Amino acid sequence: MTAIGFLYPGHSAEDDYERIEQMLASDVRLAVVHTDIGEDAHRIDALLEMGAAERLAAGVEELRLSGAEAVVWACTSGSFVYGREGAQEQIRALARSAGLPASSTSFAFAHAVRALGASRVAVAATYPEDVAGLFADFLKAGGVEVVSSRSSGIITAAEVGTWGRDEVLELALAGDAREAEVVLLPDTALHTAAYLRELEQVLGKPVLTANQVSVWEGLRLAERRVWSKTLGRLFARPE
């Protein structure tokens, strides 16, 4: 049994992790520990507070009890908001606190893009425009070319968590660009696990979503590879 720990802010789409665990159908356990979200707002000051070291450290003891072999800060906006260097320091502090290999959803996206052999991406974000722009900046700082970035202007994770299949498909289609090799949906508050296969069929290209890449990143840190036919190209077995 391999256990991966996730620090997840508040309550929005955490049931994606249970769904993904079932879809993996393997000896992998995904342990979700909730951190204090503070003010639920996709606003830069609120996001900086959400990702503060003390908030992440508060969930570490419970995470240790889960037997996790690695930990992922499962919040994209609460990591890229610090910039690339700040986000690196955030996960270094988390690794020290937890005594485990650590990463965040923002770095998971960058690593997953490279794993797919891609370099040009389109961002389809639920966030307001300024926050979506910070995600694009984060990716560019890591050598990923962002050919387009679309924002939806949604302020709260709670609202994003109510979105279903139709809204997710509409977001991905609206955010796609012809030049993009991959489409990224960066919000861990967005339910996407159930729609990954359909998203890729409709767009005709790989789609990376926040909870999907968070799980992939945790497995990568634990040096586990698990394949799935339902979790998109990222989890596809090499031919």
Q: For position 69, what pLDDT does the model report? A: 95
Average pLDDT value for residue range 56-75: 92
Q: For position 89, what pLDDT does the model report? A: 98
Q: For position 95, what pLDDT does the model report? A: 96
Crossing angle, helix 83-98 and helix 105-115, to 10 degrees? 110
Whole-prediction pTM:
0.97
Tell me the H-state helices in 59-148: 60-65, 77-80, 83-98, 105-115, 129-141
By mean pLDDT, which of 60-64, 79-83, 136-140, 210-214 is the weakest? 60-64
End-to-end CA distance of the chain: 26
170 has pLDDT over 80: yes
Q: For position 137, what pLDDT does the model report? A: 98
Crossing angle, helix 196-203 and helix 165-175, to 10 degrees? 40
**Of all residues in the chain, what percent are helix, strand and coil, respectively (each to 5)?**
50, 15, 35
Tell me the H-state helices in 101-237: 105-115, 129-141, 157-160, 165-175, 196-203, 210-221
Average pLDDT value for residue range 135-148: 98
Query: Is 35:8 a contact under the CB 8 Å cutoff?
Result: yes
CA torsion 167-168-173-174 (nearest 10°) is 60
61 has pLDDT over 90: no
Tell me the domains of the chain and their CATH numbers: 2-229 (3.40.50.12500)
CA torsion 90-108-163-44 (nearest 10°) is 30
